[in-house]
Amino acid sequence: MIRLGEIGRIRSQAKNLALGLCLATIVPWRLLCFELIDNSHLGEKGVPFGKSGKELARYQTFIADKNRSLETVQIKIRKVGNGDHSDLSMKLYETAYEKPARTQGKPLASTIVFANSIGSDWTQIRVPLRFTGLQAGKRYALVVTQNYPSNSNHFEWCWNIDASKRLASGRLDQSHGESEPQWIAESHQGNCWMKLRVHPGTLALGRPTKIRANYPLVRRSARIAESKSIEGDFILQGTVAVQGPDPTARVFFAASNDRKDACFFSIKKGHLSLIRAKGGNETIIRQESFRPPLGPWKLRLQKRGIYYLLNINDQDDWVTWVAHPSGEVFYSVPGRFSWRSYSALEPSSGYVGLEGTGDIAFSDVQISPIGLGTGSPDIPVVSYSDIQGTWNESQCFPGAVLEDGNGKAYRDKQGYAYLYVNGSDAGSDEQESGGVIRIGVVRSRDLVNWDWCNRGNFVLEATKGAWDGVSVFANGAMAVVDGGTPKFMIQYAGYGGNGTAGGWNGQGYAFSRHPEGPFVKDAKNPVIGSDVGMHEGHFTKVSNLFYYFRTLFHKGDRAYYSTGTDLYEWTHNPRPILSPKPGAWDGEHVRARSVNKVGNTWYLLYEGASRDVGREAIMPERWWDSVGLAKSKDLTTWIRSSLNPFIPQQPGDRFDSTWTGWPRMVLEGENAFIYYAAGGYDFMKPRHQAGVGLLVLPVAQLTGF
């Protein structure tokens, strides 16, 4: 019998227990200890699993000698191949005829083994796998497989031909075309290396008092698994094992060293909350709709600019996200577009990590920086003039890179490339930009340093009283051959202030004999009517076919495309190719902006927007515009980049700290040059200001997802 007055002595002694087998959880008059089911051996050979076909999964059976509860499993495995391995799934099944009882359906217990915790040499991995109902004399099967099978990058489980023949092992075979894969017994090959920690469980005779010993999977209350100050973007990932009543894990970020100022995602069974701490005082900002299950939890926090995105247990998408979580102070600017503006900034660095309370343990915690290209410069590569009365006083944002007709940048005999930009004056609070939009042009030899052409004047403007009577926006530019002589074309959207599409009345062309103009509008304008084309899109040519990637409004902006064999005959695809994802950072609008084809794959840079309704406790209701990336083989099925938002707003006092959009990309050599519009700290102070940012990254980074 152990008296409660001896608790302190037991705590001290528990740390020295042989092999650390005691959890030292005290229920009145009873001490709970771990036992070991040891199916290990001295073998050094391996049997493969995680492959397509005959070796999809591998199983090993064991026998429970008493009624016990399973706590952890330890196996000896290694990687085969030099490529990317996916994570492993480990599951516990009952058996039938010495094989797993079923290949589908709910297992008795399951957990995840991270691939990055396994080496190419034999690695002993111990993970929590909890099941409270092991029955004496009954046989069970442990099944391990790779989440994404690969014949070139798979795993091996250590086995020994001399191991006990009382236990059965085998593989899962899906190579014969059956509707369900088949378990194939291979006990003649021996047994796979395995150790299982079990305990007898307890009958609570009163309220338990818990003592934590030096057991690797149980940490003290409020234990910090990792805390690191980091500058820039990163990925934090780790696994949280839990037991006992009401354990809580916290993912903290944008934090001070002492975490008196911080933001947290608080995670416990059935509850996910966003919390902000100021001076040590915590406020629940919002309760998320996602309901976490009982642990273990596999966590992934990704920081992209001012965004923090959280995933739990490999859900198909982020379970929640927050932008600018440290909080802001706003003021309003009068006028039709009375946007609210910052007078406080998100910090560019801070502490990030994991902590927990209750019976909780952390494993495989990693914080990895995200390096994407050369990064954005601190100033725009092309800026608004900020000179009163000029045509680009308030805004300057990308319109179109002049293409050569083959999807590449056109260069003249002096080696200059050309970028057409949209500029806004400051003459009208009734316009979202603060004035009317005209088109100008800049040129560069290195695609980084740009100079104004035409003495800084615009080259195309609206025609008063016409369909494009207020503003013109460049969407595409191309060198075309006319009788053997190069001819330069701007494809643009026209805004007339009224019409059937909210004033966006269609698309037109303007032509010139020189990239710097003067440009003459096509007499056939508008060549594409307002019923199929809004103001935002991209005009290009690939393999002798013209493409117009366009934006239409239908319960939010959506991306569409049209094709044509010449400039005037178009076939319009009636279905959107990319739509908003409700609840995501791009949950309200998706606008096609720039499309390039690399090999057999299309890469779409789009402008995504979310309206933060219901998040007013941390920020007022407003729009958040950022740039996303997606790819497709057929222009029908698109995969979004896991690094989205791909070009987010940036923390700190920068020109792109408030919004990003209007991306235009050109590929040259091994690099992708992405120009984007951005507004910063002085957004709408007193005008909605914007400049042109630049991200340069290797094409391999663009395509590597």
The single residue listed with the structure tokens 């003290």 is: 220
Average pLDDT over residues 285-294: 89
Residue 481: strand pairing partners? 486
DSSP strand E in 147-221: where?
Answer: 154-160, 169-173, 182-185, 191-192, 194-199, 209-210
What is the mean pLDDT of the segment spanning 413-437?
86
Beta bridge partners of 238: 299
Confidence of residue 577 (pLDDT cuts 50, 70, 90): very high
Above 70 in pLDDT, residue 256?
Answer: yes
**Cα 593 from Cα 575, distance rounded (Å):** 17
Does 104 score more than 80 pLDDT?
no
CA atoms within 13 Å, Cβ hemisphere of 526 = 24
* CA–CA distance, 284 with 280 (Å, rounded to integer): 13
Q: What percentage of residues in the chain have a pLDDT greater than 90?
A: 43
**DSSP symbol at 113:** E
Facing residues of 480 across strands?
A: 487
Residue 140 contacts residue 134 (beta carbons within 8 Å): yes
Q: Are strands 35-39 and 194-199 parallel, antiparallel or unpaired?
A: antiparallel
Question: 515 near 441, Cβ under 8 Å?
Answer: yes
Select the highest-mean-pLDDT range: 79-88, 420-429, 518-527.
518-527
Q: Tokens 């980049």 label which residue?
A: 641
Read off the pLDDT of each residue in 484-495 and give the average, rounded to a whole number. Answer: 88
Q: What is the pLDDT of residue 522?
A: 96
Task: Assess whether pLDDT exceeds 90 at residue 15.
Answer: no
pLDDT at position 337? 43
> Per mean pLDDT, which of 102-106, 552-556, 618-622, 658-662 is the most reliable?
658-662
Is the pLDDT at 378 greater than 90? The verdict is no
Cis peptide bond N-terminal to 526, omega within 30: yes
pLDDT tens for residues 321-331?
988 887 654 44
- Chain-centroid distance of CA 333 in Å reads 34
| Kind and range of the H or E run holding 11 | helix 7-14
Phi, psi for residue 131 in degrees, rounded to 5: -150, 130
Residue 271's Cβ-count burial label (10 Å; 0-12, 13-18, 19+) is middle
- Work out the pLDDT band at 165, boundaries 50, 70, 90: low
pLDDT at 113: 82
Write down the pLDDT at residue 704: 84
What is the rounded average pLDDT of the residues 575-586?
Answer: 90
Instruction: Locate 74 and state its tokens.
Output: 């330890």
491, 539 Cβ separation under 8 angstroms? yes
Instruction: Give residue for tokens 């050599």.
Output: 669
Closest C-alpha among 506, 505, 536, 532 to residue 664: 536
Q: Which domains does the chain have, with CATH numbers?
A: 33-199 (2.60.120), 219-369 (2.60.120.560), 395-703 (2.115.10.20)
Q: Distance (Å, rounded) from C-alpha 679 to C-alpha 381?
A: 13
**pLDDT at position 620, please?**
39
At position 372, the amino acid (one-letter code) is L
Cα torsion 169, 170, 172, 174 to 10°: value is -160
**pLDDT of residue 243 exceeding 70:** yes
Task: Say what the pLDDT of residue 171 is.
Answer: 92
pLDDT score recorded for residue 68: 86
pLDDT 10s digits, 112-121:
787 877 889 9
Sequence-ordered list of residues with C-beta below 8 angstroms from that of 171, at least 6 positions apart, any chain = 47, 49, 54, 55, 56, 57, 58, 59, 183, 184, 186
pLDDT value of position 67: 85
Residue 375: pLDDT over 80: no
- pLDDT over threshold 60, residue 545: yes
pLDDT of residue 662: 95
Stretch 550-576: mean pLDDT: 87
**Cα separation of 122 and 70, whole Å?**
24
Most confident stretch, 236-245, 341-350, 592-601: 592-601
Lowest mean pLDDT of 81-90, 195-204, 248-257, 672-681, name the range.
Answer: 195-204
Identify the pLDDT of residue 196: 92
What's the average model confidence in pLDDT over 417-422?
98
CB distance 95 to 139 below 8 Å: yes
Helix (H, G, I), strand (E, B) or coil at 181: coil
> Which tens digit of pLDDT belongs to each residue from 172-225?
988 765 557 888 888 766 889 999 988 775 322 222 222 222 223 333 334 566
d(CA 567, CA 574): 19
φ and ψ at residue 19, rounded to 5 degrees? 60, 10
355 touches 234 (CB < 8 A):
no
C-alpha to C-alpha distance for 486 and 513, rounded to whole angstroms = 7
Q: Work out the mean pLDDT of the chain and round it to a whole number.
A: 81
- The CA radius of gyration of the chain, in Å to the nearest whole number, is 31
Residue 685 has pLDDT above 70, yes or no: no
* pLDDT: which is higher, 79 or 652: 79
**DSSP SS3 for 148:** coil
Query: Cα torsion at 340, 346, 348, 354 (round to 10°)?
Result: -140
Position 157 pLDDT exceeds 70: yes
- Residues ≥6 apart with Cβ < 8 Å to 361: 128, 216, 217, 218, 219, 240, 241, 242
Question: Which of the four pLDDT bands, split at 50, 70 and 90, describes residue 163?
Answer: low
